[in-house]
Amino acid sequence: MEKVLRKRAWRDLKENKFRYFALAFLIIISMYLVISLVGAADTIVDGTTKQAKKHKLEDGQFQVFVPLTTKQKENFTKKGLTVEETFYLDFRQKDGSKLRIFKNRKKVNKINLDEGRLAKNKSEVVVEKRYAQEHNLKTGSKITIDGNFYKITGIGSVPDYDACYEKLSDSTVDSKQFGLAFVTEDAYENLKDNENSIQSEEYIYAYRLNGAMTQKQLKNKLKKITFNPDDVDDPYFKDYWEETAGKKDDIKDGIKKLTDASTQMSDGLNKLSENNETLQKGANQIFQAYLKTAESQLTSFGVTSLTENNYANILKSLIAKSSDGLTRLSLESAKEQLDALKTYRDGIKAYTNGVKKASDGSSKLKEGTDQLEEGTKELMKAFDMETSNLTQFLKADDNIRIGAAAGDQVISKLAGMVAGVIIMILFTYVISVFVIHEIEKENSIIGTLYALGVIKKQLLKYYLTVPVIVTFLAGLAGTIIGYSPIGIPTQMQDCYDYFSIPDLSPELLIYLLVYGIVMPPLVAVIVNYFVIRKKLSRPALSMIRNEQKKSHISKVKLGDMPFLTKFRIRQSLREARAGFTVVFGMFIALLVMMIGLDCYVMCDHISKENKKDTKFEYMYTYKYPDKKVPKGGDACFVKGLHKEVWGYDLEISLIGIENDNPYFSQDKDLPKAKNKVVISSAMAQKYDLKKGDSIILSDEEDEMDYAFQVADITQYSSGLYAFMDIDSMRDLFQTSSDYYNMVVSKKKLSIDSGKLYATTSKKAIEESSDVFINMMIPMMGMIVGLSVIIFAIVMYLMIKVMIDRSAQNIALMKVFGYRKKEIKKLYLDGNFYMIAIGALISVPLSKKLMDAMYPVMVSNIACGMNLSFTWQMYALIYAGIIITYLVINKLLVRKIYKVGLSDALKNRE
């Protein structure tokens, strides 16, 4: 009997080859999608981690004003750290791109060569692989740098530039505009001596802790390293220092002189005031003695008492009465002498009182100057923090250039795993519908076999054979294709086209092999076992008679409707299981499609909005600002702060501007407050912020947090920006009232490159805006295409099941004289409304669900997320669903036409 059942299983496979082929194709493309996505993600995550370890990826990097001395580097080495210079110079190429030149690395972030060898002499260079690809550079090619020809001896990558961002605040990698190159030390020194680089040399060191200390301990040690401004060779730095920090010595000298002078004056006046009493007493004694002498001389004139109060009147009276000229002259002389002595005495008193007040005042002046000197010392201590040699400390975990490919693939892996679970649920349900239909169709045969003595175990084995074989072979094929050149390597290509990572070989992952090969047949066994076991539990006679479970569909009250409408509704209710599977399959396919479409609209909006929102032609970021803002430029104050989203720490550019700045936030008034900001639309989308919300931004350098309130949101998609009044920002960060470090302009300004960190042009931003969409188009096309195929297959299979289940009724309709078109209206056209209504629900629902999931999927990208669809996009998706249905409907019409009249007599007693 088992031999007979095996033959029958083979005949069943041949008779239903299209149905099983469609099911197999569904599994194949599902396994291909999941295994290629997840396999590519795991290969890149594990591969880049291994390569980073092999090539000594840094634990972090720090930047300084002045290169470390040999002794300072030796101190770090003795403590167990590995520290290596990663200084660089930027040069503009003839095509407008920028090439960043490094020396060959020896200890940290070593070059991983895809081909060739390292540069060995002054005329050789190794070029970073993505830049080489974009500029069609090969090993052996010639490249011009600063007017000199260099031979390319190798092409490769470095682990600290996994994502080749020019600046840490950039949101996109554009390898056509920016790349890296590595030369010998002699060649680097020659380029440096020529002084033709776009900006001054950056003093950056990469370090590996080797377990010797923590990140915080190293940062604290670096903060304590100060530098002597005289040791800096950069003339732009010297000018800047003289205008700013260099003034501190003049202040200290001036305060010191003032303090010394006040001390000398106070000491002198104190000594002088010590003789005040003696001086006053002597002057008074002289006056009183002369007064007594004058009194004794005037006795002959009848004067008995001459005092300080009456001497002047008495002498004046005697002079008036005297007729003798000699006597009068003597009296006048006495009066003048007494007046002079009194004036002298009063002058001495006034002088000594003044000396006393001056002495008291000088003491207070000395106290004040002493306090001023002490305060100046404290001020200088705080000012000395500015002279710390450390200008930037960046841990590898916070560096967006490091591990970016792996971070991106973690999201892809998550998406693949979620899609895998959803697809597994979908085809599990599809298989269950198949099995139920197959058993219901063969109820009488199963009952007959029961009656002939065939046991349930044999029937279970028979009905499991074909689904298990089909799902196993389909899963195996999907897995093989997933690991083939068109699978994982193809999925990895998108990553290779964006990130600068080594070439990696796909890894055979056990859990993926189990998922792709074991899981499909296992699901088929489990579903079939439980469904078949339940169906085979019925009595043999009931199955021979093909007794169907009573349905309550006929009892549903549909009111006064036309016959055709009633029939279609009841037919849809009878086939609710298959109908639900079609709608559910549509929803799953739309979810997968929305991944691609959301990616497309986001990239499209970035491309268009960046071009529209960028109003300036040039942006200059200063290292050493000029004293005056260049003519034609608008001054800004920019500071990089950080905010986390979904586990990723992204940089927010806080920009202080004037209210009339024509380039940023031109439609919003900036509040005059230190705790309010106007944020860009990109930032609002990324962090789901609204007007009135509070946000906390972190300054990782100073380890400070700043709380702000969102005063408004302005349309600006070019990056994560927050704008505030420039004067308020200067107050907040305690800078001078005219401080700025960025200038934007409508035209190119004449600014020495040595004063700048970077120059950004509108043209470069526009070219970078198209990078995402150009890179993602292949992946988006694949996802959308596969989702359409999944939907079409599920729809075809389920509607075919509906027709097969209704074959006997269709045959009866033909017997009763119904024409083919009328039967089509009854059994097929009713599905149109199911699809139409299901699509109306599924399209917005899948869009809303994917929009909620998408921020997690792109959480590592510092850009806006405008995911809005136009009404034309919704209409196109809906029309696509309807067209797909109409095509499948056309194919299935032939199935109705093939139903023979003999089917009406089948399974009849």
Are 743 and 691 in contact by the 8 Å Cβ rule? The answer is: no
- Do 761 and 618 meet the contact criterion of CB atoms below 8 Å apart? yes
Nearest to 755 by CA among 623, 618, 620: 623
Q: Is the dihedral of CA 496, 498, 501, 502 positive or negative?
A: positive
DSSP 140: T
Q: Residue 594 has what pLDDT?
A: 86
**Rounded distance between C-alpha atoms, residue 665 and residue 676, angstroms:** 14
Residue that has been written with the tokens 């900036």 in this structure: 670
Closest CA to 450 of 536, 512, 574: 536
Measure the CA–CA gap between 788 and 586, rounded to whole angstroms.
Answer: 9
Parallel/antiparallel/unpaired status of strands 721-725 and 648-657 = parallel
Residue 45 to residue 408: CA distance in whole angstroms: 9
Check residue 790 and report its DSSP letter. Answer: H
Running along the chain, 909 residues long, what does each successive block of 10 average in pLDDT?
68 76 83 86 89 91 87 90 92 89 92 92 92 92 90 93 82 84 92 83 90 89 80 69 60 64 65 68 72 71 71 72 68 72 72 69 63 56 58 84 80 72 71 70 75 76 81 90 89 85 87 87 81 72 64 60 69 67 78 83 84 87 85 90 80 88 76 90 89 89 86 87 92 89 90 78 76 70 79 76 67 69 68 83 90 77 81 91 84 66 52
Task: Give the pLDDT of residue 708.
Answer: 93
Burial class of residue 676 (count of CB atoms within 10 Å of its CB; 0-12, 13-18, 19+)? middle
- Helix, strand, coil percent values for the chain (each to nearest 5): 60, 15, 25
Query: CA torsion sign, 673 to 674 to 675 to 681?
Result: positive
**For residues 571 and 806, is the Cβ–Cβ distance under 8 A?**
yes
Separation of alpha carbons 585 and 431, rounded Å: 13
- Give the start-to-end residue ranges of the domains of the chain: 1-53+405-549, 60-243, 258-387, 561-612+762-909, 627-750
Alpha-carbon distance of 90 to 94, in angstroms, equals 13
pLDDT of res. 552:
53
Give the whole-angstrom CA distance, residue 241 versus residue 439: 89
- Say if residues 138 and 152 touch (Cβ distance below 8 Å): yes
The whole-number pLDDT of residue 54 equals 92
CA-to-CA distance for 588 and 363, rounded, in angstroms? 88
The DSSP line for 88-131 is EEEEE-TTS-EEEEEEPPSSSS--EEEEE----STTEEEEEHHH
Q: Give the separation between CA 907 and CA 544, rounded to whole angstroms.
A: 9
pLDDT value at position 383?
Answer: 47
Spacing of C-alpha 576 from chain mean position: 47
Separation CA 785–CA 494 (nearest Å) = 17
Q: pLDDT value at position 382?
A: 45
How many residues in total does the chain contain? 909
Residue 178 and residue 597: Cα distance in Å, rounded? 29
Residue 555 to residue 783: CA distance in whole angstroms: 44
Q: What is the 3-state secondary structure (H, E, C) of 424-476?
A: HHHHHHHHHHHHHHHHHHCHHHHHHHHHCCCCHHHHHHHHHHHHHHHHHHHHH
Question: Which residues, in sequence order, are CB contacts of 520 under 8 Å at separation 6+?
Answer: 27, 31, 427, 471, 472, 474, 475
